[in-house]
Amino acid sequence: MVLSVNTNVGAMIALQHLNMTNTDMEKTQLAITTGLRVNGPKDDASTYAIAQNMRGDIVGLGAVKTALANGEATLNTAITAGKAISDLLTEMKAKVVQANQAGLDTASRTALHNDFVSLRDQIQTIVATAEFNGTNLVEGSATGTSVLSTVDGSTISVSAQKLDATTLAIQSQVLNTSAGAATALTAIDTAITNVSDKLAALGSVAKRIEVQSDFTTKLTDILRAGVGSLVDADLAQESARLQSLQIKQQLGVQALSIANTGPQAILSLFG
């Protein structure tokens, strides 16, 4: 073995191992701090790329969930309006039936007519205010809409279901005459049936959007779990690893110290 004061091989080896230990400790500390085993492409290039793609899908699904929520709220607004209109039509039918009584005096018929008109005006008010985020599916000029349902751009079509008095053919009905009351009874019965059909159509689309929203939520959870399984750190394992590296670091420092004192033995050769 050559003794030299210029080259300390033992110290170089000890320093190399100490640097490796310090590098491993930095990675472990980063994993503990961030909770991630893969923090960037240097840690695991392929896993990082896969995780980033999945994260992109998650963000896209988040946008889809927002669109579905808006669509569901729009439909719920229309359905709520339709139910209220259906209830009003039921009240209007009661007025019409009373107006069809034989021998009804003029004052009573007029009072029933006024109540009928008031209920019809209330239908118009409901129709005009049944709007969510600028979309009204039940007004006379409604044209329908579409709701984003997947990240690839697929949509769910939502048809307008007009529930205004003109569309329901009750706008011109009167109860202040016997003939008018008889005509109004047929019109109201038809309107009640039409509203029920339109509500069924709205409910069917609303259910479809609800199912798609639930599926999107579950798919998002699956992707998040997938990303976690790819990049999340096992903190129990990292804790044990940190303790092991701390011991190795201390031993490395001691080994380097011992190696650095080796050349002092040369002085004994000249004593």
Label residue 5 by pLDDT band (50, 70, 90): low
> What's the mean pLDDT when you consider all of the chain?
90
Rg (CA), the chain: 39
Q: Which pLDDT score is estimated for 121? A: 95
Which range, of 34-43, 111-120, 127-136, averages the lowest pLDDT?
34-43
**Class at the top of the CATH hierarchy for domain 45-230:** mainly alpha
Alpha-carbon span 213 to 219, nearest angstrom? 10
pLDDT at 253 (0 to 100): 87
- Of 22 and 84, more confident: 84
Does position 149 have pLDDT exceeding 80, yes or no?
Answer: yes
Encode the chain in three state secondary structure.
CCCCCCCCHHHHHHHHHHHHHHHHHHHHHHHHHHCECCCCCCCCHHHHHHHHHHHHHHHHHHHHHHHHHHHHHHHHHHHHHHHHHHHHHHHHHHHHHHHCCCCCCHHHHHHHHHHHHHHHHHHHHHHHHCCECCECCCCCCCCCEEEECCCCCCEEEECCCCCCCCCCCCCCCCCCCHHHHHHHHHHHHHHHHHHHHHHHHHHHHHHHHHHHHHHHHHHHHHHHHHHHHHHECCHHHHHHHHHHHHHHHHHHHHHHHHHHHHHHHHHHHHC
Average pLDDT over residues 10-39: 85
Backbone angles phi and psi of 146, in degrees to 5: -135, 150
**CA distance linking residue 268 with residue 183, whole number of Å:** 127
Contact 29, 242 (CB under 8 A): yes
What's residue 88's pLDDT?
A: 96
Angle at 80 between CA 77 and CA 81, to 5 degrees: 85
Average pLDDT on 21-32 reads: 84
pLDDT bucket at 168, cuts 50 / 70 / 90: very high
pLDDT recorded at residue 3: 64
Are 184 and 175 in contact, with CB atoms under 8 Å apart? yes
pLDDT at residue 271 in the model:
61
Span 63-68, average pLDDT: 96
Percentage of the chain beyond pLDDT 90 is 62
Between 47-61, 159-173, 255-269, the lowest mean confidence (pLDDT) is in: 255-269
What residue segments make up the domains of the chain, in order of their start? Answer: 45-230, 234-271
Whether 112 shows a pLDDT value over 80: the answer reads yes
> Given a cut of 60, is residue 1 above it in pLDDT?
no
Residue with the bigger pLDDT between 82 and 12: it is: 82
More confident residue, 240 or 199: 199
